[in-house]
Amino acid sequence: MSSIKENNIAVIISGTGRTLKNLIEKSKKGLLLANIAIVISSKKDVLGIKIAREAGIETVVIDRRNFDDDRSFSEQITKTIDEQSKKLVLSGQGPIRLIVMAGFLHKYLIPKKYRLKVMNIHPALIPSFCGKKFYGERVHQAVWKRGVKVTGCTVHFADNMYDHGPIILQKAVPVFDDDTPESIAQRVFKVECKLYPRAINLFFKGKLSVRNGRVFIKE
């Protein structure tokens, strides 16, 4: 297993940064086998940037509104990650080895070199309640309205479709009669806080392999 210093990740965010905050906290407790080497935000002035700065992490804003299409926006993200990666290598640390989407609300068109190196977490059990329309509170509202008895969260490798790539981990939670979308959201997020670091750690322990679109976890 490589050292944490070499397990550099780029975290890409769009908002409140609760997922980022959790990763920072886990990292401080030694529960994340990764070093957050850069945080890229698609929106300026969001709480996530403040959280990153307070933790002493380099931040870059790449405002989606300044780009005409997904391609040019994605290219700028890749360029920024590559530059940071180069700096890290020159300073004796490894490159950025994983890109972690943390409440990232746009499409990032993944270049070939980062295929199966981009992770996302979705607050539902994929393939239910996922895709372009389902983000943030909308997911839990739809879950509540449909009256499903279980929901949960999914960590997966991202591809170029929303919430679509190979599934790494899923965890179900019950939905109770007296739940509200808010109480469901809270229950799911609590589980997310453990599941995402676990998936990232499995990646850096070299335990994940992908065959025919399915992820296998080596014991």
- Active-site amino acid positions: 122
Contact between 192 and ligand GRF by CB under 6 A: the answer reads yes
CB of 114 to ligand GRF, least distance (A): 18
Q: Would you say 13 or 40 has its CB closer to ligand GRF?
A: 13
- Select the residue interacting with ligand GRF from 38, 49, 88, 121 (CB under 6 A): 121
16 vs 128, which CB is nearer to ligand GRF? Answer: 16
Q: Does 123 bind ligand GRF (CB under 6 A)?
A: yes
Which residues are within 8 A (CB) of 71 and not within 5 positions of it... i.e. 6 or more apart? 109
Task: List the one residue out of 157, 169, 170, 172 whose CA is nearest residue 213.
Answer: 157
Q: Which residues, in sequence order, are CB contacts of 180 under 8 Å at separation 6+?
A: 144
62 Rama sector, left if φ>0, alpha if ψ -120 to 50, beta otherwise: beta
> Looking at beta carbons only, is 13 or 208 nearer to ligand GRF?
13
Q: Which residues contact 168 (CB under 8 A, 6 or more apart)?
A: 119, 155, 156, 157, 199, 202, 208, 215, 217
* 152 in contact with ligand GRF (CB under 6 A): no
* Closest distance to ligand GRF from the beta carbon of 61 (Å): 15
Identify which range of 10-18, 24-32, 54-62, 68-76 contacts ligand GRF by CB under 6 A.
Answer: 10-18
CB 172 within 8 Å of CB 1: no
One-character DSSP codes across 34-81 = -EEEEEEESSTT-HHHHHHHHTT--EEE--GGG-SSHHHHHHHHHHHH
Binding ligand GRF (rule: CB under 6 A), the pick from 18, 107, 171, 194 is: 18
Among 102, 119, 143, 169, binds ligand GRF (CB under 6 A): 102
Number of residues that bind ligand GRF (CB under 6 A): 15
- Find the part of the chain contacting ligand GRF (CB under 6 A) among 8-16, 26-34, 68-76, 79-87: 8-16
- Phi, psi dihedral angles at 173 (to 5 degrees): -130, 150
Closest distance of CB 22 from ligand GRF, Å: 8
Which residues on neighbouring strands pair with residue 157, listed in sequence order? 119
Answer yes or no whether residue 26 interacts with ligand GRF by CB under 6 A: no
